[in-house]
Amino acid sequence: MLPRVKRVLFVTSELYPLVKTGGLADVSASLPRALSGLGLDIRILLPGYPAAMTTARQLGSKKLATLTTGGHAMTLWQTRLPDSDVPLWLLDSPALFDRHGGPYQNPLGQDWPDNAQRFHQFALAACQLALGQGSLNWQPDLVHCNDWQTALIPALLHGHRARPATLFTIHNLAYQGVFDASTFWQLGLPPPLWHMDGLEFYGQLAFIKGGIMFADQLSTVSPRYSEEIQQPQFGWGLDGALRHRHDRLHGILNGIDDEIWNPATDPHLAAHYHRDDLSGKAVCKQDLQRQLGLPVRAEIPLLAFVGRLVEQKGVDLIDAVLPGLKDLGCQVALLGSGQPQLERILLEWQHRHPSQISVTLGYDEPLAHQLTAGADMLLMPSRFEPCGLNQLYALKYGTPPIVHGVGGLRDTVFDPTQYTARKANGFSFEPATGEAFWQALERALTLYRQPRHWLRLQRRGMAADASWRRSASDYTRLYRKALAACHQASRQTTLA
């Protein structure tokens, strides 16, 4: 029998709607909420970024403790996750977190030069709370760490008596928190950790290795990605370390928050709709075309993209199929921000074909919802994709996705050429070439012209339960496994 986990400290560097650069923020808001619904006493720990501190003041907050880590005094505030009862702890340290810009980068898109110090201090404070040292009368059974920003925690807790169990979740292996070797010594990390089975990574310091090498259990956000990252092609140099710990590595598919992403209630939409009556979706399409300055024509296929404009998202593949889509008379609407050269490529397309191609640069939550609802199809040709949320939102909104069949996309999007009509919900292509993408687009556009078949495809996507209900209970099982592994490790330490 696995031991029960009752108290969880969920440590994250992003949290929707307070601070978001990608899917991690969405997961950090919706998974704890679902776990709390299953009866867990879960508390979220987040750096006290300015937007987070402002929200805390609006929602009401109280000072819980003062923590001192390596000479830094930090104040721990308690508020709650908006629209929930889940306690949210904010670590207020103006020198580290109170600055204008993103959580990891300045407004010019450059990494903050002291990121290693910022997230090291964050980890030290989390360790104090994990060990019950904050005079809070509360110690977690398990600390759930997410991505490199929190990955030092399992390494720093390792070997402590009476430590809680640790789970490290990889939301994207491409971001590793790599710094010069000298940073390791400047931070004053324990010397035994400078080892290839520790934090050393080809002569540099990689925060992410703390999670990979020391957590009691590891997870990533889709079953397929958990396999892929053990191969050199997707391993970013860490595939060996992950193979070494493969018996601890699990893939649990992300869910979506269906209170925020639901076409029947979404406050950002011009009209609401559901599986049995999609007429509101046509109104959303009209509204979107009008808003983006595209001809308002119901019969023209409208294809959308939402996401960070980085190589991962396959922007080059979109660039490769845009000429064909334009020639077929389609409309394409893109929303994103990221690498300047990719932004430029897309802007040029818009300048040349403004009546067919719309590009919105920047981060725009309402428009992301409007595109997901108003478009006929979603483009998601990611070169790799740990889970991907946009395709799940698109399925729920009756907007069949066209995806490159990797990672979580492969686990969630089923092409009619590979699956029975009862299962098919979108289109998938391989390999990652413009040609293969184009063939999938042609298949999609052919089916689009057969309204009865298309409607069936839309409804199938809308019917699936992509909520957190299923995945949250998978996490509770994994928490129990991690606690069992932690107990076993401490028995071994005692015997030694």
Of 216 and 411, the one with the shorter C-beta distance to ligand ADP is 411
Question: Which segment (102-110, 229-237, 296-304, 330-338) binds ligand ADP by CB under 6 A?
Answer: 330-338
Which residue spans within 70-170 are E strands per DSSP?
A: 72-80, 87-92, 142-146, 165-170
Q: How far is the CB of 56 from ligand ADP (least distance, A)?
A: 23
| 335 counts as binding ligand ADP under rule CB under 6 A | yes
Q: What residues contact residue 207 under an 8 Å CB cut-off, 6+ apart?
A: 116, 119, 148, 149, 151, 152, 176, 177, 178, 179, 199
| 103 counts as binding ligand ADP under rule CB under 6 A | no
Sheet architecture: strand order including 178-179 = 178-179, 204-206, 200-201
**Near ligand ADP in 348-367, by CB under 6 A:** 363-365
Of 26 and 216, the one with the shorter C-beta distance to ligand ADP is 26
Among residues 67, 72, 147, which one has the least CA distance to residue 104?
147
Of 23 and 255, the one with the shorter C-beta distance to ligand ADP is 23
| 307 counts as binding ligand ADP under rule CB under 6 A | yes
Among 8, 45, 368, 444, binds ligand ADP (CB under 6 A): 368
Is the CB of residue 47 less than 8 Å from the CB of residue 90?
A: yes
Cα–Cα distance between 408 and 179 in angstroms, integer?
A: 29
Among residues 488, 316, 291, 315, which one has the least CA distance to residue 373?
291
| 388 counts as binding ligand ADP under rule CB under 6 A | yes
| 336 counts as binding ligand ADP under rule CB under 6 A | yes
User: Is the omega angle on the peptide bond into residue 107 within 30 degrees of 0, that is, cis?
Assistant: no
Is the CB of residue 379 less than 8 Å from the CB of residue 398?
A: no
| Position closest to ligand ADP via CB | 23
Taking CA atoms, 475 is separated from 142, 252, 347, 469, 472, in Å, by 12, 8, 42, 10, 5
| 415 counts as binding ligand ADP under rule CB under 6 A | no
Is the CB of residue 91 less than 8 Å from the CB of residue 84?
A: no
| 426 counts as binding ligand ADP under rule CB under 6 A | no
Among 14, 26, 92, 376, binds ligand ADP (CB under 6 A): 26
Q: How far is the CB of 295 from ligand ADP (least distance, A)?
A: 24
Among 2, 3, 17, 22, binds ligand ADP (CB under 6 A): 22
Chain residues in the site for ligand ADP (CB under 6 A): 22-23, 26, 306-308, 335-337, 363-365, 368, 387-390
